[in-house]
Amino acid sequence: MVKDSEGVLKDTDYNLDLFFKFSPDLFCIAGYDGYFKKVSPSFKKLLGYDTGELYSNPISTFVYGADSLATAEIRKNTIQGTPLKNFENRYLTKKGEVLWLSWTSFPVPENGLVYAIARNITAKKEIELKKNEWIRYLTQTNDKLKQLTFTTSHDLRSPVNNLLAVFKLMETDRIKDAETLELVDLLRQSTENLKQMLDTFLTTLKRDDAVQVRVERLSLKDVYSRTTVAIQSLIENSGAVLLPDFSAVPQVVFNRMYLESILLNLISNAIKYSRPKTKPLIEIRSFEKNGTTRLSVKDNGLGLDMEQVKSKIFGFDQKFHEHKESQGIGLYLVHAHVTALGGKIDVKSKPGKGTEFTIVFPNLS
């Protein structure tokens, strides 16, 4: 072996041909005339052609038809002196299979040759194809769901408006019974709140920037009052005792519709899943901890075995107690609303000991 003046072995002392023989990557040398001059065993094995077939046919013979023009243009640029990096095209094997290859090459003009290395990325491309198919499917499904939601919300406004028209026609001064008058007023308020919710929801859907959820500074007392009015009959019929306390943190920056939905679901769940022969007691309080604003909703209901349900408690269509009104999406919506704006939600619960949900609001101010 001969070393140069710096003690490094000369290139002639290395058997560089071993790279061609044993590398799993696909090595080849191509001429400016468009023919392979040398290919590695891994290249021949992958495509399934013998040496004679690879050397006697133009390279374009092995390129998948749809990629021929792009490949020819790239080869032209390479011959003109532009190195190639991570160019992807498809080749046909002798069996007719289509393979994706990623090429890196550089020209040697004085020899009229192009040295190239390729990698088989077919598996990666198949994964990308499946991912893109799923994205298209989910996009189409989302569009259909959005259209269905839009249609349902729009069509619900007609009967709601009819109800409001009925209330306007009622001559409430003729109603002498105070309890009946109070009930009519409650129905009117609930209907007006429903109309406002539908109008807000439709406005959000129609906005071009609907992805950007609108946030504002909200009075927790005001949101709580609007929410409880909507389910006042449920509260009264159950005998539930609600103890709200927003003195520590009266306001929070959040989306109004989301927050009303969160409170609506947590309070109604606490009532639905109360213990037999026990009046629901629901404590709702705001507080600060570790520099964050938090909202706790705590009840004395049936509770949950967190070891069994913790991984699916916020899942879609999950039911943990039997109830005729249960749809299995309330906690899913709560979690979706909280996390959509960067918040977090924590759950503490024990069977027969009630449940406490704690919402950690994101800093959106």
CATH number of 213-365: 3.30.565.10
pLDDT digits (tens, 9 = 90+) for 250-289: 999 998 888 988 998 899 889 988 898 899 999 999 999 9
pLDDT digits (tens, 9 = 90+) for 217-235: 999 999 999 888 878 878 8
Q: Give the CATH fold of the 11-120 domain.
A: Beta-Lactamase (3.30.450)
Burial environment of residue 15 by CB neighbours within 10 A (0 to 12, 13 to 18, 19 or more): exposed
In the chain, CATH 3.30.565.10 covers: 213-365
Q: What confidence score (pLDDT) does residue 227 get?
A: 87
Own/partner contacts of 62-66, CB < 8 Å, gap of 24 or more, are: 62/91, 62/92, 63/89, 63/90, 63/91, 63/92, 64/89, 64/90, 64/91, 64/92, 64/98, 66/90
Q: What confidence score (pLDDT) does residue 209 get?
A: 45
Q: What confidence score (pLDDT) does residue 60 get?
A: 93
Contact 113, 37 (CB under 8 A): yes
Mean pLDDT for the chain overall: 83
Binning pLDDT at 50, 70 and 90, where does residue 162 land? low
Predicted structure pTM score:
0.53
Binning pLDDT at 50, 70 and 90, where does residue 148 land? low
Q: What confidence score (pLDDT) does residue 94 get?
A: 93
- Average pLDDT on 327-334 reads 74
